[in-house]
Amino acid sequence: MSGSISANEVQVAIVGFGPSGAVAASLLGAQGIRTLAVDRDRAVYDKPRAIALDHEILRLFDNLGIAGQMRPHIAPFPASEHFGARGQLIRRIDMVSEPYPLGYTPTMVFTQPPVEEILRAHARSYPSVAVELGTELRSLSQAPDGVTLELSSDRGTRKVTADYVIACDGASSSVRRQLGIGFDDLVFDEPWLVVDLRVNASRIAKLPRTAAQFCDPARPTTYIVGPGAHRRFEIMLSPGEDPRAMEQPDQVWRLLARWLTPDDATLWRAASYRFHALVASKWREGRVFLAGDAAHQQPPFIGQGMCQGVRDVANLVWKLGRVLRGESGAALLDTYQDERSAHVRELTTRIKAIGHVICERDPDAAAARDARILAEGGGAPRTITRQEIVPPLSCGLRADMAHAVNGTLFPQPWILTSGGRQLLDAACGAGWRLVLKGDSALTRSSAIAARATEMGLRLIAIATADHDQGPDVLREESGVVTHWFGRHACTAAIVRPDHYVYGVAADEPGLTAMLSGLEVRLQ
């Protein structure tokens, strides 16, 4: 599929082979794009760092065909109960209820090392992808037609040329530093200790059954229920406490004494961090793109760190594919920074606001906070969903006509087939899609069908299971898409390869105009 002519050795070089880099390599490999991924480390870090993912990310993993392999290492993320300064419940953060909008449990926890091994192995399975571990980037230089990377490994130093580079090399990114790109500080800087435990089966009952946020001004603490026996505590450090000293087992067990003793669990990891809110001032320099922690860092309070990095590469790679195949001009790549920077900034701002609530150390201010939050629920703890905290795309490649649904994720229903039920993506694939309400007159328009085919959009019509429909209309199980069309007063949606809604229309003239606008923008 990668029919471009290039004198460079690879089309895309990826620096950093963590979760974001491995997903980028798989997405490129799935398009047949010649890819080289390098990482200075030879093996996956054997302790958990990221712990949460959501339905958008699992949908992408499922599109790659690896979600099934991950299931033993994934579990639902239960509600997070927030307790105030006096230990009283003040609110809950939960997931949206069934039928789930994307077909999967909306929020999940996972164990990173085995999941990362699956991501790496899958990337290596593509013939067009080469992976070199124990290989460090020394320098890079750009020319109008490509990037030269100087790589160092046990075999010596060599140079490789690439059409484009994606830097997924972490918070201390050498690529970002070589490019002289700084961070915009969104003003959050707090010291925390992250503790991962394997809890003995007989002692798990001592711990809360749900996730918890102890908003105690004396010692704010987060508790997360991981898969199996995995449990995590994130504990805010106090002024004067030495972060390295607090990582020592005796100090860790002292902090955990309220919940556990050393007889109850095995200490898996204890690491001190400063939780930051940072976003790169630029995400692109010529032919080099930043992604993942190289481009942003956010506090972990709703578990979006790894999700953000995977969103980055999912957004970028389909655009790179179009440009490399000559289907779109290089200007399409400018939408990467536009879309992802705005999205990350908005989500980080929302996460930071949650963090400020949690991190309040003044007892009087904490009491006022608790009263305010309870008042917002009418005097009782209210429930908000993690899904409403994550914003849509607010700019970039969206239809010009303003509609609240543009830039949101298109839902994924369960489809009823003669062979059983399937998720929509499994039944129809990803890529650009034109999805129609099954009882709409648009499903009978030969002009719309011809236009969609001409533009390379897959045409999909969906109706509820109990509705009469023609042979080309898919039957959905729970009315997820049908209700979505009704809620947004439309009958057609153009959906991007990363599952975001480009735009919606209510009739044929509106859809025709929107298709014409998309064609111009993609070219």
Question: What distance in Å separates the CA atoms of residue 55 and residue 104, rounded to the nearest whole number?
Answer: 6
Mean pLDDT of 191-213: 97
Question: Is there a contact between 55 and 104 (Cβ–Cβ < 8 Å)?
Answer: yes
CB contact set of 256 (below 8 Å; sequence gap of 6+): 195, 233
- Strands of 74-76's sheet, edge to edge? 52-54, 107-110, 74-76
The residue among 250, 214, 217 whose CA lies nearest residue 234 is: 214
pLDDT at 6: 80
Among 116-125, 346-355, 397-406, top mean pLDDT goes to 116-125
Question: Is there a contact between 243 and 237 (Cβ–Cβ < 8 Å)?
Answer: yes
**Ranges of each domain in the chain:** 10-74+110-182+281-356, 414-522
Reported as a pLDDT band with limits 50, 70 and 90, residue 3 is very low
Q: Token digits for 193?
A: 């200790």
Whether domain 10-74+110-182+281-356 has CATH 3.50.50.60: the reply is yes
pLDDT digits 0-9 by tens, 148-167: 999 999 999 999 999 999 99
Question: What distance in Å separates the CA atoms of residue 313 and residue 322, rounded to the nearest whole number?
Answer: 14
Burial class (CB in 10 A: 0-12, 13-18, 19+), 261: exposed
pTM of the model: 0.96
Distances (CA, A) of 227 to 31, 76, 77, 232, 332: 33, 8, 9, 10, 40
CB contact set of 402 (below 8 Å; sequence gap of 6+): none
Separation of CA 29 from chain center: 19
pLDDT at 304: 94
pLDDT at 2: 41
Is the pLDDT at 365 greater than 50? The verdict is: yes
Question: What distance in Å separates the CA atoms of residue 500 and residue 479, rounded to the nearest whole number?
Answer: 19
Reported CATH class of domain 414-522:
alpha beta
Tell me the residue ranges of DSSP E strands in 168-253: 183-199, 211-214, 221-225, 230-236
Reported as a pLDDT band with limits 50, 70 and 90, residue 468 is low
Question: What distance in Å separates the CA atoms of residue 146 and residue 340, rounded to the nearest whole number?
Answer: 24
Mean pLDDT of 200-214: 96
Question: What distance in Å separates the CA atoms of residue 374 and residue 301, rounded to the nearest whole number?
Answer: 20
pLDDT digits 0-9 by tens, 313-335: 999 999 999 999 999 999 999 99
Q: Token digits for 522?
A: 């993609």
pLDDT digits 0-9 by tens, 11-33: 999 999 999 999 999 999 999 99
Question: Is there a contact between 215 and 366 (Cβ–Cβ < 8 Å)?
Answer: yes
The residue among 410, 412, 491 whose CA lies nearest residue 444 is: 491
pLDDT digits 0-9 by tens, 233-289: 999 999 999 999 999 999 999 999 999 999 999 999 999 999 999 999 999 999 999
pLDDT at 1: 36
pLDDT at 469: 66
pLDDT over 90 percentage in the chain: 93
DSSP-based three-state secondary structure for 22: helix
Distances (CA, A) of 274 to 144, 211, 284: 39, 22, 26
In sign, the C-alpha dihedral spanning 354, 360, 365, 366 is positive
pLDDT at 419: 84
pLDDT digits 0-9 by tens, 36-45: 999 999 999 9
Question: What distance in Å separates the CA atoms of residue 284 and residue 125, rounded to the nearest whole number?
Answer: 29
Question: Is there a contact between 217 and 271 (Cβ–Cβ < 8 Å)?
Answer: no
DSSP states along 355-391: HHHHT---HHHHHHHHHHHHHHTTTS-EEEEHHHHS-
Q: What are residue 213's DSSP bridge partners?
A: 82, 222
Question: What distance in Å separates the CA atoms of residue 470 and residue 447, rounded to the nearest whole number?
Answer: 18
DSSP-based three-state secondary structure for 162: strand
